[in-house]
């Protein structure tokens, strides 16, 4: 078996090895699968780097950085992949004013096509087209790669899967895209042997879009037949690498963070969240709900501390910066009302990126009475799985009904309506008042999460792999 994978996400490596795995997500899982099977990884190189065309690592792994000039990166990544497509899939567009498909966006779309074509050409050059070759394409940045890669190929021996880590929107919202673009995206993905998502609801939404916008598509159960080609739909969440969690819990960095956070908590019950500061993570509403809980029960300000661990996106847009400012203003407001300068009731902690930031998150979870995820829409949300693994029996796990992980973890959670501040505030208040947690017996959560592996995920998303 050999793996060829394409992602916008970039691995890190040193001394002939991929960097140590973290507990989950796309890059750590690809690290694990390539370490096991070998193969090739095509990815978007970070800006400003001077990387060779390929890098050979131990274990039969070859990395293929795709260098893009800044103009092409801006059009492909910033304008189309992030602003247009991620905004679409997470329901983030203010449709009264955006998107506007004008000349500028048309030029950006041409840049998106160019990058996808370059990926497909590199993939074609690497593919041996053998029965044991597994080709995995990830990220909304690469939705046209299947179209370009399969063009003119009437028969393939290799297996081709596209997996999307975000939500997929319902058909009415998908009409935000012009007809030719939305048809082209759907037809490109249906050139794959399998299309996968983290949750069944995203799979169902994708199937509904195909049914509405591709009149010649035939949907039967978990398959879509389009122009003679059969595509299987897969719902399979990324696994949590609990062995990595167990290792990181014992690391000195986690102990150091535990000591620091214990001082900051000052004997209070801790509610924690950990997010990249993306628009759909819904942080301002989360703090507004906490504020509403304190308005109803001011005594909780003496006994509770809300800690948010945040990281910034790699290329933060003006909208991201405004969103972070709104988050900081919400925290400032709740502290002005219910905290003191030397004892805030809410804190946004930004330890930076990398492994140490995860040590901070794990330390926070180990001491927390509640963990909260209130995303407006989320493809999965790995933090919720980390919380499910680390929280003790007396803690509560609060999860948005619109997070993909809710489908898997619902038996262990208190469900949040992410748009309803009053409902969220009452769930928060209940979690901070009681010693009876919602997460259920730890052994059941551990059994569920330990049953998942990267190999199991790989077999699920590749037909007859």
Q: What is the pLDDT of residue 452?
A: 95
Contacts of 338 (CB under 8 A, 6+ apart): 291, 294, 298, 301, 345
What's the order of all strands across the beta sheet hosting 414-416?
Answer: 346-349, 304-311, 269-276, 370-373, 396-400, 414-416
Burial of 464 per CB tally in 10 Å (0-12, 13-18, 19+)? exposed
pLDDT in tens, 176-218: 999 999 999 999 999 999 999 999 999 999 999 999 999 999 9
Residue 459 in contact with residue 234, Cβ under 8 Å? no
pLDDT in tens, 278-297: 999 999 999 999 999 999 99
How many angstroms separate the CA atoms of 152 and 340, rounded? 67
Residue 387 in contact with residue 361, Cβ under 8 Å? no
Confidence of residue 313 (pLDDT cuts 50, 70, 90): confident
How big is the CA angle at 45 (ends 43 and 48), to the nearest 5 degrees? 175
Calculate Rg over the CA atoms of the chain: 22
Residue 125 in contact with residue 119, Cβ under 8 Å? no
How many angstroms separate the CA atoms of 247 and 60, rounded? 26
Nearest alpha-carbon partner for 424 in 329, 293, 269: 293
pLDDT in tens, 104-159: 999 999 999 999 999 999 999 999 999 999 999 999 999 999 999 999 887 889 99
pLDDT in tens, 395-437: 999 999 999 999 999 999 999 999 999 999 999 999 999 776 7
**Token digits of residue 62:** 């070859």
């Amino acid at each position: 078996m050999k793996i060829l994978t394409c992602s916008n996400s970039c691995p890190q490596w040193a001394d002939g090895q991929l960097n140590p795995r973290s507990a989950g997500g796309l890059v750590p899982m690809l690290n694990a699968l390539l370490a096991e099977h070998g193969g090739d990884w095509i990815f978007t190189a970070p800006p400003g780097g001077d990387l060779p065309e390929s890098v050979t690592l131990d274990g039969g792994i070859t990395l293929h950085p795709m260098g893009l000039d800044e103009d092409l990166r801006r059009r492909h990544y910033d304008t189309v992949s992030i602003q247009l497509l991620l905004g679409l899939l997470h329901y983030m567009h203010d449709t009264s004013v955006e998107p506007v498909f004008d000349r500028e966006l048309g030029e950006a779309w041409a840049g998106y096509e160019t990058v996808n074509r370059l990926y497909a050409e590199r993939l074609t050059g690497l593919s041996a087209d053998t029965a044991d070759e597994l080709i995995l394409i990830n990220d909304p940045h690469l939705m046209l790669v299947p179209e370009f890669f399969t063009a003119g190929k009437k028969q393939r021996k290799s297996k081709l899967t596209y997996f999307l880590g975000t939500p997929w929107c319902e058909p009415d919202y998908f009409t935000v895209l012009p007809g030719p673009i939305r048809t082209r995206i759907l037809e490109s993905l249906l050139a794959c042997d399998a299309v996968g998502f983290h949750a069944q609801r995203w799979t169902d939404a994708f199937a509904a879009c195909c049914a509405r916008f591709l009149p010649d598509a035939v949907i039967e159960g978990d398959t879509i037949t389009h122009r003679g080609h059969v595509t299987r739909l897969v719902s399979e969440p990324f696994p949590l690498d609990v062995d990595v969690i167990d290792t990181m819990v014992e690391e000195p960095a986690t102990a150091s963070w535990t000591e620091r956070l214990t001082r900051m908590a000052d004997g209070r019950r801790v509610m924690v969240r950990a997010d990249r500061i993306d628009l759909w993570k819904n942080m301002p509403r989360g703090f507004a709900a906490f504020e509403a809980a304190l308005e109803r029960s001011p005594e909780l300000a003496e006994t509770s501390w809300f800690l948010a661990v945040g990281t910034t996106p790699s290329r933060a847009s003006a909208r991201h910066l405004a969103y972070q400012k709104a988050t900081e203003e919400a925290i400032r407001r709740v502290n002005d009302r219910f905290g003191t300068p030397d004892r805030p009731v809410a804190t946004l902690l930004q330890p930076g990126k990398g492994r140490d930031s995860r040590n901070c998150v794990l330390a926070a979870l180990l001491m927390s009475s509640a963990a909260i995820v209130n995303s407006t829409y989320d493809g999965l949300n790995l933090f919720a799985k980390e919380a499910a693994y680390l929280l003790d029996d007396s803690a509560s796990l609060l999860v948005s009904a619109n997070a993909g992980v809710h489908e898997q973890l619902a038996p262990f959670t208190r469900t949040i309506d992410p748009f309803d501040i009053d409902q969220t505030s009452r769930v928060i208040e209940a979690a901070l008042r009681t010693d009876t947690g919602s997460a259920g017996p730890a052994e059941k959560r551990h059994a569920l999460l330990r049953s998942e592996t990267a190999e199991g995920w790989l077999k699920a998303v590749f037909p007859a792999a």
